[in-house]
Every structure is written in structure tokens, then in C-alpha cells.
Amino acid sequence: GQNIDQPTEMTATEGAIVQINCTYQTSGFNGLFWYQQHAGEAPTFLSYNVLDGLEEKGRFSSFLSRSKGYSYLLLKELQMKDSASYLCAVRDQDYKLSFGAGTTVTVRA
């Protein structure tokens, strides 16, 4: 099975940087995904990591360390619209994708 942990809530100021950590334990790692979910809506795909290192996409970056079972999502130049829940998901060798409980990020002016 898979055990995925991420903080429940984080608060940051507009224009700042926030780092959301995700630790996982899985049998047969086959990729890690990050999603953004606004209240009442479906999740939207942000990033995918399968090799160690940093993937950058505009204001969002995602890092993976397979040996440590660790990933983080970095949100830079925070905007009010970034207030949302951020979901970490891990895929195993059977292509089963399991999600953490999500981190609610609140951006304050």
C-alpha cells in the first residue's frame, strides 16, 4: 500500500514563497503528481516527477528525492488566486494512483 503525508494547512503572504512538503512510502514507486484544487472544483494537474531533481513550470516547481521518499511543491510570487488545496499523489508499479489528504494554502494580502 501507500502512505502519503502532507501538512494540513499553510498560510503565506501575497508575493511570498511557500513550500509544501510530501513524504510517502510505497511498494514500487512509479511517479509523483501534484494537483491544485479550488473549493468545489475538480483538481487540476500541476506537475509530474519520476526522476530525482527539480521540475520548473513558471511560478511552480516540484522536487523529488526517491531515496528519501520526499517531494515538495514550491509556489513563488504568491497570488491571491493561489489560495487552494494542493494534493500530492503517488503512483505504484500497477499504475494505482493514491492521494494524500491535501494541504490548504491560504494567501493573505
Asked if 105 and 66 count as a contact pair (C-beta separation under 8 A), the reply is: no
Q: Is residue 87 a contact point for another protein (CB under 8 A)?
A: yes
Distance CA 60, CA 22 (A): 15
Q: Is residue 22 a contact point for another protein (CB under 8 A)?
A: no
Compare residues 7 and 31 and give the one whose CB is closer to another protein.
31
**Main-chain phi, psi angles of 82, to 5 degrees:** -80, -5
From the list 51, 58, 95, 109, which residue makes contact with another protein (rule: CB under 8 A)?
95
Compare residues 29 and 99 and give the one whose CB is closer to another protein.
99
# of chain residues touching another protein (CB under 8 A): 21
Residue with cell 494537483: 35
Identity of the residue numbered 53? G
Site for another protein in 30-49 (CB under 8 A): 31, 33, 35, 41-45, 48
The three three-digit cell numbers of residue 41, written as one number: 472544483
Asked if 96 and 1 count as a contact pair (C-beta separation under 8 A), the reply is: no
Footprint on this chain of another protein (rule: CB under 8 A): 31, 33, 35, 41-45, 48, 50, 87, 89, 94-102
